[in-house]
Amino acid sequence: MKRKYFGTDGIRGRVGEGKITPEFVMRLGWAAGRVLGNGKGSKVLIGKDTRISGYLFESALEAGLVAAGVDIHLLGPMPTPGIAYLTRTLHAQAGIVISASHNPHCDNGIKFFSSEGKKLPDEVELAIERELDKPMTTVESEHLGKAFRVSDAAGRYIEFCKSTIPWTMSFKGMKIVVDCAHGATYHIAPHVLRELGAEVVAIGAEPNGLNINAGVGSTHIGTIQKAVLEHQADLGIALDGDGDRLIMVDEEGDVLDGDDILYIIACSRLRRGVLDGGVVGTKMTNFGLEHALNQHGIDLVRTDVGDRYILERLQMERWSLGGEPSGHIICLDRTTTGDGVISALQVLAEVNKSGRSLHELRDGYQKYPQITLNVPLGSADAAELMKDQAVKDSVASVAEELADTGRVLLRPSGTEPLIRVTVEGRDSEQIMALAGRIAGLLESMVAGAPDSRQVASV
């Protein structure tokens, strides 16, 4: 069934508009309490990132949940994966995250974890939506919920992160730059690394409510590249505002995205005989990664874009490792969701055990050139265009020309009226021409000017 309020990862938007208002969030808390609570004494955790509107929506959720008779345990600023972990270990009925991840401070959002620390199933989200459309009521006074503060939330999560690598391991002698994006990991990631013995240069670790993701973090990688080179560090770790994404920088200043990180972790586990099955990627996973993993005898399967789909496929295959180029890496044998700090520790552990640099650990993986052209739709319908036989024939022709040296993908944007045409292959000029062929056909079908296409990435 189509969701009315929830997107692929909770509810997100600009503060004060649409669904991101105190009135709606209070009703959302009430509806979630009705669905996720199990009567008097039920417990829901609330954590947030560092954006200033977190105070507003924390209070709104608290009011709604308490009105539904649910007790609230407030975690304060905590990374999204930390909230998932604490939801499990504190035996809560659910965990709620107030965050807009890598978005600027003017946005915010709400997402949920089940009692197992996993994203809510579709049927539970739909049940919450049904409650949202009902008039809000309040339980009798003697059944109202209470609010408590969890004072040791950060310490609990820090210890959990450290437990995901051997307790005997030390990073003494390593200099690491960590960029916390002025977000929820500002009081987590530097402490984890220092307690493991590393010399830490922390940047993006002074949140003021307005500077989250502003020129720092995994979406502004130039900042940490510069810092790694300036401090002559061994490597850099860049996180996003809520701590579930990871991008790394090696000692030469080169960027490692989610595909690079997946390759290193997968090969490390294969060498040590602890890789459970294959690796799950998405439609946007680079073809070069698939080729490199196959060379090692490791299967890669693809899902739709989004970590919830990666998790679903991992559970279906009973595998443990998956991720996407944006830096969402899921190590299911360590935790239940994408976790930037824990994923970084798996890579650091391999650097430590192998004695090789981060740059050297990428040997054997050659990223294929990729071009994405965005074709504006105007008033045309994306689904109808993509079903058109001429479009199908054009895509098939490109796929045949690439054969086993590349791939082609058409997908509608989830946020803009665009169709994205992505082509990967070994030859940059060839893929540009092939992507242009398909984009040109689409443009003629929507009566768009040839120069209206937008080059998204190369």
Element (H, E) at 179: strand 175-179
Axis-axis angle for helices 122-132, 22-36 (nearest 10): 120
| Bridge partners, residue 112, by sequence | 96
* Per-residue exposure over 122-145, b if at least 16 CB sit within 10 Å of its own CB, e if not: eebbbbbbebbeeebeebeeeeeb
What whole-number distance in Å separates Cα of residue 243 and Cα of residue 205? 12
Q: Is 101 a catalytic residue?
A: yes
Check residue 299 and report its DSSP letter: -
H helix intervals, 231-357:
258-271, 287-295, 307-317, 340-354
Tokens of residue 123, six digits:
């049927």
Distances (CA, A) of 354 to 105, 170, 194, 322, 360: 40, 13, 21, 22, 10
3-state secondary structure of 360: helix
In the set 42, 99, 101, 114, the catalytic residue is 101
Q: How far apart are CA 160 and CA 191, in angstroms?
A: 12
**Taking the C-alpha atoms of 348, 189, 193 and 351 in order, what is their torsion angle to the nearest 10 degrees?**
10
Query: Which positions are annotated as active-site residues?
Result: 101
